[in-house]
Structure 1
């Protein structure tokens, strides 16, 4: 009886823990019409964009007040939508982005578009290093580093504040950081133009890295 009771308690606790973890991994779906903004947010973990398209694949979505000519093209895809979203939003706690041609470019002229995307919140570690500074990331026990996302530039105006910070600068370094750090126990990080080159002259930058120990 005692064993059965303890087993029941264990199962209940495991179910509760699973529900909490699954909630963090559950994909969130968003759809915003052209000319408006989308807001991604993770109370726990960091943003990982799964899919995105800026265009039109349905004649009924975002259709109010629009003419038939603006809605008739349902084969409108912007192939770079996912990359745009990942570069700007992956590895952040929150991210606001406008669904406009100036951000995604126009995949189909005269068509009224919308941004359709999905993302999840992943439990990762993060380190931010201001320009001309150094740090190191390490993993304990037998775990090794796995880089999720890296950017050397500026994705907001509050991190590493400086008088030359009033400009955004997206310069993804995910592939570079993976080659430097993946499968290592520790990895030295140097946030400098000498390492990454200067993606935005006269902007005070920072190296932003999200990673896990696996």
Structure 2
């Protein structure tokens, strides 16, 4: 699994290499969540993760690069996992104060550097709540599944009350490839239990998010 994560991260990094001046930053303190957000039509590319002791000035400027950091405690897989979960989505919420991130620190800021890059014009995103039907269509060409998640990455999709647990991931690309890949149109009824959330999920409701493109 770790080898897969590392390969994925390296391939992703090779596709888009912005300068540091183009990076965006989100700094969380005292167990806050990090929120990464790109403009409509653009998606996240995680660039770096750093931490250090918090100060009022640091914690009061969430979108500013800190520039001086601690070392030796950040789990070496943290950045890779963040990239696997957040890359290629417009928005991603990273839960605050997870023991696997910084196992030897209790009080810290966490700085996430990321960039935004444009999707292709043929790219489409479909979000489907449990009980509804995902509809994928191509006026020309055939469906190519780019990215999927079944679970929850934000607080307010498919729910009347805000959800606190947003680190809920399950890549179901292989299932969607089998159901829809190569077709010009495809409908996927989404029933509870069709896909099982894989990582750190709270109770339902969940949703399915699919990004696909039309290949000629």
Q: Give the structure-2-normalised TM-score.
A: 0.60
**3-state SS of 2:113 partner:** strand
1:81 corresponding residue in structure 2: 79
Query: Are the counterparts in 2 of residues 55 and 108 from structure 1 also a CA contact under 8 Å?
Result: no
Query: Are the counterparts in 2 of residues 51 and 119 from structure 1 also a CA contact under 8 Å?
Result: no
1:129 corresponding residue in structure 2: 128
1:179-206 Cα shifts (integer Å, max 9, x gaps): 4433332233232233213554642111
**Could you list the runs of 5+ residues in structure 1 that have no partner in the other structure?**
1-24, 64-69
2:181 corresponding residue in structure 1: 182
2:158 corresponding residue in structure 1: 160
Which whole-Å CA distance do the structure 1 matches of 2:83 and 2:44 have between them?
9
- In structure 2, which of residues 39, 44, 50 is the aligned counterpart of residue 43 of structure 1? 39
Which whole-Å CA distance do the structure 2 matches of 1:201 and 1:41 have between them?
23
1:108-147 Cα shifts (integer Å, max 9, x gaps): 7699864333342324311111112223201122x22222
Which whole-Å CA distance do the structure 1 matches of 2:45 and 2:25 have between them?
14
Which whole-Å CA distance do the structure 2 matches of 1:116 and 1:104 have between them?
19
2:168 corresponding residue in structure 1: 170
1:66 corresponding residue in structure 2: none
Which whole-Å CA distance do the structure 1 matches of 2:191 and 2:74 have between them?
40
**Could you list the runs of 5+ residues in structure 2 that have no partner in the other structure?**
1-15, 53-65
Which whole-Å CA distance do the structure 1 matches of 2:139 and 2:204 have between them?
35
- Is 1:196 paired with 2:192? no
**3-state SS of 2:193 partner:** helix
Bigger helix share: 1
Which whole-Å CA distance do the structure 2 matches of 1:39 and 1:90 have between them?
14
2:207 corresponding residue in structure 1: 206
2:117 corresponding residue in structure 1: 120
Give the Å deviation of 1:75: 10
Measured at CA, do residues 198 and 74 of structure 1 come closer, stay the same or move farther in structure 2, by a change above 3 Å? closer
Stretch of structure 1 that moved more, 152-161 or 163-172: 163-172
Query: Are the counterparts in 2 of residues 164 and 203 from structure 1 also a CA contact under 8 Å?
Result: no
Larger radius of gyration: 1
Which whole-Å CA distance do the structure 2 matches of 1:194 and 1:188 have between them?
17
Which whole-Å CA distance do the structure 2 matches of 1:113 and 1:202 have between them?
27
Which whole-Å CA distance do the structure 1 matches of 2:99 and 2:83 have between them?
10
Measured at CA, do residues 37 and 155 of structure 1 come closer, stay the same or move farther in structure 2, by a change above 3 Å? closer
Q: Give the structure-1-normalised TM-score.
A: 0.60
